[in-house]
Amino acid sequence: METFLRAITDGVLEGGVYGLMAVGLTLIFGVLDLINIAQGIMVILGAYLSYLLWTHLHIDVFVGLLITIPAMFILGVVIQYLFIRPLRGRERTSMSLLACYAVAIIIEGILYQAFGSNYLSMNTYWTSPQATVKVFGYYLPYIYLLGFALAVVFVVAIYFMLYRTQFGRSVRATMQDHTAARLVGIDVNRVAALTFGIGVGVTAAGGMVFGELNAFNPNTGYDLISRLLAIVILGGMGSIGGALGAAVLVITLASLVDVYWNPEWSTVVFYGALVLVLVFRPQGLFGRKEARAQ
């Protein structure tokens, strides 16, 4: 029973963090009609940045977020401006996606050059044995709870931004119709750049937590993006709530598979679930029924 509870708790808490990263992905998709394949490696980049700040400057990883999040935000804006916005023509969406892929492998290459292929672990206070609390008869590291709390904070912030601010309104308008948004005076390009920045900025937070929870190297980006993509499709493209729900659901499921079966198979279970959902419900669990196969 304990193992079961533990698996569930770990899964839900970790799922929250994945949810945050998936929300970033969904946001970018909603506004720019673009699947940011680079999201996975961005998370890893966030992890590396947090690692650097800790090992070289001894800045606590949570405090370090004050640096890494703005930095990643700016990176996102720059990438969108340099590599996505100039793309024109009919194949625009496909080309944007491939551009993201290209950016991803460039970043991966740079990380390899800078850090090599060794797995890194962040040896911070949060990964030490004292930083735990006893729950359900086992020791739950604080980082799980804090990471989840962080995720909640950010998702709430995003919702707040979307539904209570002027900017958020322009974002929602742009998500619905670019042309109409332009007609009412919204600078769609600016909204796109800023949204991309936000989508990438949240990966700094996700990356920090991910780095605390897992050993990583540049190659980990692939596994991450596959999970994120699976989550976003399962949840339904463009549905923020769906991304969250699917994240928690799927990560919990993977956690159970991890514990009761075999860690190596949890990712396959992921995809199996994805494929099954696509066969019976192509719009995902929570997605709207879009016009098929455009």
- Binding residues for another protein, rule: CB under 8 A, are 29, 33, 35, 37, 83, 86-89, 91, 93-95, 97-99, 101-106, 108-110, 112-113, 222-223, 225-226, 229-230, 232-233, 237, 264-265, 267-268, 271-272, 274-275, 278-279, 282, 290-294
CB of 147 or CB of 236, closer to another protein: 236
Residue with tokens 């879009």: 290
CB of 237 to another protein, least distance (A): 6
Cα 30 versus chain centre, distance: 14
CB of 33 or CB of 142, closer to another protein: 33
CB of 9 or CB of 39, closer to another protein: 39
CB of 55 to another protein, least distance (A): 22
Which helix or strand (DSSP H or E) is residue 135 part of? strand 132-135
CB of 84 or CB of 122, closer to another protein: 84
Q: For residues 107 and 101, what is the distance between their CA atoms, to the nearest angstrom?
A: 10
CB of 286 to another protein, least distance (A): 14
CB of 150 to another protein, least distance (A): 27
One-letter amino acid of 186: I
H helix intervals, the chain = 2-32, 39-57, 61-79, 92-115, 142-164, 166-176, 178-183, 188-213, 220-235, 240-260, 263-280
| DSSP annotation of 120 | B
The encoded tokens of residue 146 equal 């804090």
CB of 190 to another protein, least distance (A): 20
Q: For residues 278 and 154, what is the distance between their CA atoms, to the nearest angstrom?
A: 29
CB of 12 or CB of 232, closer to another protein: 232
